[in-house]
């Protein structure tokens, strides 16, 4: 992701105007930033320097115990809002830049995942609260089941600017504007190695899936890709006017 953002910024600065502008806000899901499990302070610093503004999370948010030392002080580091009350961290945030405010809500699905509070009801409550502060709201729904993510898109259509699914690591091809102005994609995809199994080295995955033996997963070697979406939103209404699926592929390493 860092290399992709650097390339995007370079293109935005081309004097001939051939590059697309750098996004006003960059939101990234970072629950796997620390070699696949959790996130560290160093990860946040590196990504922030690359241009990321807000960091969302998911079921791997608390995989590394050091997060408990800094999650409370990180205003723009999120974990799912439907975790139990008292869980460290926050499930939503509001960031203002150049007179424009963006709110981000992070919720986690329940199908094939943890038995948390309803992501639909939590998202609805937070949307009503945040609408009084900004019309521009993005929801990261971190879920296993595609149906649950699609349902969230329709449930919030017209009430938020965008619903972006995360978690499955595989970018979907269903980006679209819903009927009432909400941009939607079932899964934004993964920023990581392309020669592994959703980012993990093949050998460890084969040991667990084929031989059904315990295995420690390691990050796969080789080239990587950065996936995501670029969303255009009207400042005054918060209505999305465009959503574009993007995928940047690194060059293969020379032998």
Report if residue 78 sits inside a domain.
yes
Report if residue 146 sits inside a domain.
yes
pLDDT in tens, 49-100: 989 999 999 999 999 999 999 999 999 999 999 999 999 999 999 999 999 9
Split into its structural domains, the chain has a count of 1
Q: Which domain holds residue 27?
A: 2-191
What is the pairing mode between strands 54-56 and 27-29?
A: parallel
pTM above 0.75, yes or no: yes
Instruction: Decide if pLDDT at 255 tops 50.
Output: no
Report if residue 252 sits inside a domain.
no
**For position 239, what pLDDT does the model report?**
98
CA–CA separation, 19 vs 183, rounded Å?
A: 23
Cβ neighbours of residue 49 closer than 8 Å, sequence gap 6 or more? none
Report if residue 220 sits inside a domain.
no
pLDDT in tens, 138-193: 999 999 999 999 999 999 999 999 999 999 999 999 999 999 999 999 999 999 99
Report if residue 236 sits inside a domain.
no
**Helices 119-130/146-156 angle, 10° precision:** 30
Active site positions, annotated: 60
Report if residue 149 sits inside a domain.
yes
Edge-first strand listing for the sheet containing 224-233: 191-193, 224-233, 240-249
Q: What is the CATH number of the domain that holds 26?
A: 3.60.21.10
Report if residue 94 sits inside a domain.
yes
Query: Which residue from 32, 44, 10, 27 is spatially nearest to 192, judged by alpha carbons?
Result: 32
**For position 35, what pLDDT does the model report?**
86
Report if residue 15 sits inside a domain.
yes
């Amino acid at each position: 992701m860092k290399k992709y953002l650097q390339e995007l910024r370079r293109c935005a600065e081309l004097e001939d105007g051939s590059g697309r502008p750098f996004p006003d806000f960059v939101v990234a899901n970072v629950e796997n930033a620390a070699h696949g499990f959790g996130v560290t302070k160093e990860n946040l610093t590196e990504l922030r320097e690359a241009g990321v503004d807000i960091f969302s999370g998911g079921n791997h948010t608390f995989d590394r115990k050091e997060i408990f030392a800094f999650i409370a002080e990180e205003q723009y580091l999120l974990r799912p809002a439907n975790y139990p009350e008292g869980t460290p961290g926050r499930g939503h945030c509001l960031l203002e830049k150049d007179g424009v405010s963006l709110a981000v809500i992070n919720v986690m699905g329940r199908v094939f995942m943890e038995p948390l509070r309803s992501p639909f009801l939590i998202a609805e409550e937070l949307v009503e609260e945040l609408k009084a502060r900004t019309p521009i709201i993005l929801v990261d729904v971190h879920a296993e089941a595609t149906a649950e993510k699609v349902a969230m898109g329709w449930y919030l259509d017209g009430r938020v600017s965008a619903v972006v699914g995360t978690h499955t690591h595989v970018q979907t091809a269903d980006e679209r504007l819903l009927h009432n102005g909400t941009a939607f994609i079932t899964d934004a995809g993964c920023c990581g190695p392309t020669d592994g199994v959703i980012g993990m080295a093949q050998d460890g995955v084969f040991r667990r899936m084929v031989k059904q033996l315990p295995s420690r997963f390691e990050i796969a070697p080789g080239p990587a890709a950065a996936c995501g979406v670029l969303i255009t939103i009207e400042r005054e209404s918060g209505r999305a006017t465009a959503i574009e699926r993007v995928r940047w592929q690194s060059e293969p390493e020379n032998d």
